[in-house]
Structure 1
Amino acid sequence: MAEKYATRVAYGEALAEYGSKENVVVLDADLACCTMSANFRDKYPDRFFNIGIAEGNMMSIAAGIATTGKNVFASSFAMFAAGRAWEQVRNSIGYPHLNVKVVGTHSGISVGEDGATHQALEDIAIMRAIPGMLVVSPSDAIETKAAVKALMDYEGPAYLRVGRIPADIINDTPDYKFELFKGYQMREGNDITILATGLMVQESLKASDLLKEQGIHARVIDIHTIKPLDEEIILKAAKETGCIVTVEEHNIMGGLGGAVAELLSEKYPTPLVRIGMKDEFGKSGKPEELFKKFGLNADNIVTQVKKALELKK
C-alpha cells in the first residue's frame, strides 16, 4: 500500500500539473494554502486570483470570467463553496450553464476537530439539485488527479468534492481507468453490491475483505460521478446481486444513497441499505473516532451488509 495522500493535496498538484492551458483560471477565497490551489498560484500567478473571504463574490467573479471563454476553478472549503455561496452558484453559474468548476475541499466529518459547523454533509445533495451540475467525488489521490484532468476538458458547471485528511491510495493498479459518468468496479462479487463514494470506497474495500473471510462475496463499485449516475453499472449490479448497500461520508438524504434509491425505485426495485450520516450533524473529534461513532467504517459496513442480505430472503 502506498503512503496515505489527501485528495485536496492531489487536487492542488493536479491544478499545477494540468493547468498549463491558457484558458484555465483559478480563484480562491483566502484559503489557497489549505485547498492547495497555492500550487497553481506559485506556478501561474497571472491566472490566479485570491478573492478574499467572500465566497459568494468569488462565484460571481468566476461566472464573469467564464463568459470570456475561460475554464475557471473556484476553490474553498466545501461548507463555504457549496453552502455559503450556493445562491451564486445556482443563479450565476448553474442557470447560464457556465464553465466553472466549484471545488469543495475539507468535506464530510473527516474535517475532524473543526466540528459540525465546518463538516459539510449536505453539499452533494444541494449541488446535485442544481440543473445541469456535474457532481464528482473521487476516492483517492490518483482518482482526484484523473478527475481534475478530465474536468480541464469538460465544458460546463461541475462540483468536485475532496477531503482534508490523508487517505489510502487504492487505485494504483495497471488496469485502473477513470471516466467521467462511469462507475468503476473494484471487487467481484455476486452476493451483494456495495456502492461507495469518496473516502468510503477504501472502507468498503476493507469491509469486502472481511466479508470474504466469512464466505460473503461483495461486489464493490466506486461511484465517483454521483451526478449523472452510471445507471448501467448500478442496474446491472442490482439484477445480478439482488441487494445494494450505499456508503457515503454525507447525509443519506439527497446524497449517493438518495440518488441510488431514486434510480432503483423507478427502474428496478431492489433491497437497499444506506450507510451515511442519518439526518444529523457531526461532532468535533479525530476523524477515525468520528467514523467509528457514526458507523462510517469497515466494521459497521460488514454489519449492515449482513442485515441487507436478510432483505433478500
Structure 2
Amino acid sequence: MQYNKLGQSGLKVSEISLGSYLTFGERVNESDSVRTIHKAFDLGINSFDTANVYQQGEAERILAKALKSFARDDYVIATKAFWATSKGPNSRGLSRKHLVEQVHQSLKRMKLDYVDIFYCHSYDYETPVEETLRTLDDLIKQGKILYVGVSNWNSEQLQEAIQISDKFLFNRIIVNQCEYSLLKPDIEDTIIPDSEKLGLSQIVFSPLAQGILTGKYNKQIPELSRATNPNINKFFTSLFTKESLRKAQQLENLAGEFDLSLTELALSWVLRKNNIASALMGASSPKQVEENVKRLNKQLTSEMLTEITKIYNS
C-alpha cells in the first residue's frame, strides 16, 4: 500500500480509503461491517471516511467501534457536516452553531477525543465563509479536529477559502473530496490544476463509477444490485445511462487487450495523477476490500492512456 501526503500538511493517507456511504449500518450489518473494516486495516488501509448523516449516525458509530481495536495513531478517520440532521432552521449548513454541535455529536457517537479530518460536506451559500473557517480553526485549536477538508467545492470556492484563511491566519483546508472516474473526469479541467496551485489534494469518491466500472452491468443487470433497487442513490442514477454502459464495455475490451481487468484499468487511471491522494471506495465484505487492494499499482502506458482518452471523448 502506498501512502500519500494531503496538501501541504504532513498527514499521510493510504491510496485507497474505505468509505461508509450506504454500507455500514444499512446494506451491511454491524458484525460484517467490523470484519470488513478490520480486513481493510490489515491490508494497509489507514484512511476511513464517514459522515454524520450516513445512516443517521450509525455509520460513524460502527466505524469507530471497529477501529477501537487498533492504536489511535495508526488510522485516519474523517467525518463531515452540512446536511440536515433535523427539521429545525439551524439543523443544516456551515454556521458556527451547526458545526460546533455536529462535531460534538460525532465525537460522542464515535467515543473519540478528536477526528483527523473534518469536512464541510457541501458549500453553504447562506453562511459567510469566514464564519465557517473561523469556527473550524477554533475547533482545531481546541484539539477536536486536526485538519479541515471540503467536499464538492468548485475552484472559485476553494480559492476564496484559501484567501480568507491566509488573511486571518486560519488553518488552511488541505483536501477536497469530489467525484472522479473514467465516466466523470470533469475535475481535470479546473479543480485539479487549481488545487495544485493552492496546495490542496483530492480524495475522490466513486472511482469505479458506482460499480459500473467493475463490468458487472456490461452483460446483464445482476439481481439485488443497485440497478434493481428503487432507492438507488443520486450518484448512481446520474451515471447509469446507455452512454455510460457503452463506454464501460469499450473500456473493458481495451483493458482485456492489455491483460487488465476493467477495475484495474479504472483505479490505475484515477490514481495516475499526483494530486489524487486517495480513491475512496465502499465495500460490503472483506473479500471485496481484498479484491480492490489487489488491483492497485498497475502502470498505464502512454498508448493505453491515448486509447482511454479516445473512448471517454467519443
TM-score by length of 2: 0.32
TM-score by length of 1: 0.32
